[in-house]
Amino acid sequence: HVLSKNVPNKDLSKIEDIILQDLENVVGRTNFGTLEYKGKLENTELSLDYQQNFAKGFFAEVNTCIVSQKISDITYTDKTPDDGIYPNKNTIQWQRFLNNYSNIMSYYDLDVSSAKASGFSNLAILAGWTYNKVDTDYLDYADATIRAGVLLPSPSDENINNIFERALSTVDFFGFPISFDGAIGSYNWLSLGVHASAFFWLNKTKEIRIKTDSEQNGYIKLAKTSTKIDPGAVWVLGMFAKAEHILKGFSLLCAYSLTKKDATTLTPQTTISTAAIASNDQVYDEWRKHTINFALEYDVEKENKRCVPAIRISYNRVVGGKRVFKSLLWGGTIGIDIAFKF
């Protein structure tokens, strides 16, 4: 409810700022002025990947995605307490804010209706090494792969006037990824694997929306200024089990992953706010999520084939975590692997 506190250039001759000032003057309590948002997420990707193999297991890889994402059907639920204790859901100042919510957002150039992002994602340039052992005494195969490289930022800039667009996956920072993948196979159909990766980012200065008071929190921020952003590292751990070609070309995959992102530090480059206030924000705090994945795949045997089509139907669900969207996502993938000999 202190959304406008310390926001510069307020004009108390304007009804929008009057409503915000009146709401700010109300003595708050837990969850007073809290809105819970819900929406529908749609995601379409075209993945482009090129890998060049060299001698002794070394390889180079370049990949990116053309991404189209959308959050629509956005609604909110008022989570303000509905009891006889003041202030509550029926407090006049709060009701005036809700009745003028759309006008206030427009007055501060904020779009809360939907979010769209499209274009190229990060371009990854990687080098790696693979160890592979086949037909051992106990296993069909065992392999391990390490990768490292650089991530070039997405050319698409985030629209800071859309409060939900930052929830989409466009990343405009230089990054340095490193990963390890290991897998074993047995019984001519069963594969088990693990994955570990980390992403480290360079800081960047750009204009964003920030907090102007320690009591503010959430996606809606009225003030904006040039800010140095130091993104936290991302850590991923995962494991999978896959039944390969159990029925002709069909395979079944079951996987789990834990993703954790360290807190982001913000340093405003003006006097609108301070690093302590701007960084103390749940939007930029550390987050983590637990995801389960199921997939049904169809492909033909790859042996001695240069062109291999593949179809995949997937179900991904975030089953737990902290400061993440608990989403359920059904998806479909149609792809083709093309091998060349040089």
Report pLDDT digits (tens) over 28-74.
Answer: 899 999 998 888 878 788 888 999 999 999 999 999 888 888 888 88
Residue 55 is given by DSSP the state: G
Across residues 304-319, what is the average pLDDT?
A: 75
d(CA 64, CA 124): 6
Calculate the average pLDDT of the chain.
88
Cβ-contact 67, 116 below 8 angstroms: no
- The answer on pLDDT for 200 being more than 90 is yes
The tens digit of pLDDT for each residue in 265-285 reads 999 999 999 999 999 988 889
Structure confidence at residue 189 as a pLDDT band (50, 70, 90): confident
Please report the pLDDT score of residue 169 as a whole number.
52
- The answer on pLDDT for 301 being more than 60 is no
Our CA angle for 320, 322, 324, nearest 5°, is: 85
Across residues 112-125, what is the average pLDDT?
A: 84
More confident site: 163 or 234: 234
Q: Is 278 helix (H, G, I), strand (E, B) or coil?
A: helix
More confident site: 36 or 228: 228
d(CA 259, CA 314): 19
CB contact set of 58 (below 8 Å; sequence gap of 6+): 127, 128, 129
Q: Which helix (H) or strand (E) element contains residue 17? A: helix 15-24
Structure confidence at residue 262 as a pLDDT band (50, 70, 90): very high
Which tokens sit at 328? 């359920």
Cβ-contact 288, 261 below 8 angstroms: yes
Across residues 166-170, what is the average pLDDT?
A: 55
Give alpha helix (H) positions in the chain.
Answer: 15-24, 92-99, 101-107, 275-279
Residue 231 is given by DSSP the state: P
More confident site: 153 or 103: 103
- The answer on pLDDT for 100 being more than 80 is yes
Please report the pLDDT score of residue 321 as a whole number.
83
Please report the pLDDT score of residue 47 as a whole number.
83
b/e 309-328 (16+ beta carbons within 10 angstroms → b)? ebebebebebeebeebeeee
- The answer on pLDDT for 190 being more than 80 is yes
Please report the pLDDT score of residue 248 as a whole number.
75
Across residues 126-151, what is the average pLDDT?
A: 92
d(CA 126, CA 60): 6
Among 297, 222, 216, which residue's Cα sits nearest to residue 254? 297
- The answer on pLDDT for 168 being more than 60 is no
Please report the pLDDT score of residue 228 as a whole number.
96
Please report the pLDDT score of residue 125 as a whole number.
96
